[in-house]
Chain A
């Protein structure tokens, strides 16, 4: 009887210490999105030219949804890669890029694209952050990769970087048995 609480006490302490020791290797800043592998929330919003844009129009393709705003400094850094990626994937029938311009003004967004180059894909205009909130975006830029079935497969917090598509996105796209065409 006497030994019981003593052993239990020492074991509890050991367990807590081991937990901390293991926990030291965690990166507190890496937060996986709870939306991962869940169906993406559809959105319907006007694009920057006022034309209606729906995410579900692109069902059957991989969609890269890129959240940005003209107020966001890192988006400027990310922009050259988006220009390059848009150019490189223009001929793919199984992949599109959509921008979501959030917490922004039309004026600001147009100026941003005029100044830093227009990658040519469409942007949903989300001044009230409705889409951003639905998608759990907490900073910009953030990008989500949605598969042809409309399920979020990947989240990138922070800017996309050269080589991202080949190293991160392409393996997923190729691994999936896609009903759509080839490049």
Chain B
């Protein structure tokens, strides 16, 4: 009964989304504000209805209502409550519903926050977001409905794919989607700006927090995916350059470029067309990500749904969106002429320009690697795959270039850098970089990329530290009054500095996070060690300075799985730890999953995977030493902190900001 109410709510929401879109267009063409108000109200109603629709589905999961096909396919009586509640996005239909719900949520929040401040562009924003919502709801209602019933209802469900029964996977899709959908808002503002012809920086200021929010949630989503791959898939790594991983990475790269280039438009009025291009591209790539996952056009571990009917629809949807967005951009490009030019190649503007070029080239590299197999397969009969060797070859140099620019950027002044200033600012960081290089060489880092990363990390930390120190000095100088009593302490000065320039120093904290992550990438990418061997209880193996001994094999059982478990003792410098890798069988699905046992320290992870039994009393093991993997998660933490801090700053830049 409830699920039909949910289904009905979704249908009404679909009609209201169409209403939202068309009423807004009618309102603006006939100049009738009442129609636009209807559109705005419709946006709020859509959210309420979709919340109800998603709510009934969650309720069906929690009450084990296996007469609902989607529930029967993705849950079972044995499934723990935590995974029951989140099984909503365990499959294709529910994921799409989550997508649509998030879009409805952001749509409503946009109406609430920007209704009075952006009255002129609001109708167009509503029209675009309403159209997007209607498009997604069409897909949900007509091509992949999660509300279908099964008759007769099975006594028990098929259970959730065991690989998805992992905390990393519970959080990966919602965050990823929040990122994808989040970019819809700046995208809609950008399109509205283009259509109304007000392509100045107003839309950028309006959507600054949206962009930051979408960017950081996308970042978190991607990292959760990597985390899941690392802990659950048990192949010793976290990133495989799988087409669908790439699909989430491409919008991240272009969005990162966008975050930087909007600053140039805000400060100097440059890059207008470029910014519009970047946000449209970012949102299109987000949709492409959804398309790739949901149409099965690319083979990958993620291609859960292979359904040409859906594929055709999503393709048509994408085609309309792409031609509409880029078409408008092309035809309105006359609006975007500026007479302002770069003054000097040695300036913050041009540092941003090069940063953008590198990020976009990086995105193109990934796009090429992702589409090339598809092209080869389509145009010939061969099948190729583009894997890590290609990406490592092309990508690491680009990333090193971005690190270098990241170090240079903050110390570069706007407009033009004078040689005196460069001579004053750069020797110290360069010296630090050289120290980093020597330290790395002393630590027997032999690989040129390793050396370069170490040097650049120190260089970036140097420039950022120097910048902060200069800021504190400047504040002390301004605040130095006649009497000593009123003098600022350096700590107060630092606090004032940070609080007045939340955006700037939040950004720097994000940079620090990137630096920490780079260390993790290079450490785990270049210095992983691996042994692959059979062990019987009592056998030992040495890996690095660890001695790993298999002490026993046993069995464990939980609510909905049983597992073979190995108990290993790892010993290093007199310290002993116990590792328990498992091979789990979830009764309903035959495919067993591996649970790697991981011992994490700041220096490295010891990572043990239990394989098959090869002979009586002998099991196969793969044991890895993964240096600096924990740094990836810490770096992400810093990035989240940095963005949160930057988002505290409001829509308008603080008066007298001297960034």
Contact = CB atoms under 8 A, between A and B. Distances in A.
Interface of A: 2, 6, 9-10, 13, 16-17, 19-26, 28-29, 31-32, 103, 127-128
A29 B299 CA distance: 7
Given A2-B333, A9-B326, A9-B330, A26 B377 contact: yes
Given A9-B326, A25-B308, A28-B298, 12 more contacts: A2-B333, A10-B323, A17-B318, A20-B295, A21-B315, A23-B377, A24-B297, A24-B315, A28-B306, A29-B299, A29-B306, A32-B382
Interface string B320-349: 001100110110010000000000000000
A162 B323 CA distance: 50
A32 B330 contact: no
Contact of B378 (A17, A23, A31): A23
A20 B383 contact: no
18 contacts: A2-B333, A10-B327, A13-B323, A16-B371, A19-B374, A20-B315, A22-B378, A23-B297, A24-B308, A24-B311, A26-B377, A26-B378, A28-B300, A31-B299, A31-B383, A32-B381, A32-B383, A128-B614
Contacts of B298: 23, 28
Interface residues on B, range: 20 to 34
Contacts of B379: 22
A6 B296 contact: no
Interface in B592-632: 612, 614-615
B34 interface: no
A159 B243 CA distance: 29
Nearest to A28: B299
B612 to A, nearest CB: 7
Contacts of B296: 28
Task: In the A-B complex, list the 4 residue pairs whose CB atoms are closest, starting with the nearest.
Answer: A28-B299, A6-B330, A22-B378, A23-B297
B382 A17 contact: no
B315 A17 contact: yes
A154 B612 CA distance: 30
B319 interface: yes
Contacts of B374: 19-20, 23, 26
A32 B384 CA distance: 10
Nearest to B334: A2
A108 B594 CA distance: 25
Given A19-B371, A24-B311, A13 B326 contact: yes
A95 B365 CA distance: 49
A22 B297 CA distance: 9
Contacts of A13: 322-323, 326
Contact of B319 (A6, A17, A103): A17
B155 interface: no
B375 interface: yes
A20 B326 CA distance: 18
Contact of A6 (B315, B333, B381): B333
Interface string B368-402: 00010011011101110000000000000000000
Contacts of A10: 323, 326-327, 330
Contacts of A6: 330, 333
A26 B326 contact: no
A2 B297 CA distance: 34
B14 interface: no
Contact of B303 (A2, A17, A19, A28): A28
B312 interface: yes
A10 B322 CA distance: 9
B106 interface: no
B291 interface: yes
Given A26-B297, A28-B303, A29-B299, A20 B308 contact: no
A46 to B, nearest CB: 16
Nearest to A24: B311
B10 to A, nearest CB: 26
B378 A19 contact: yes
Contacts of A32: 381-383
A20 B612 CA distance: 39
Nearest to A3: B330
B318 to A, nearest CB: 7
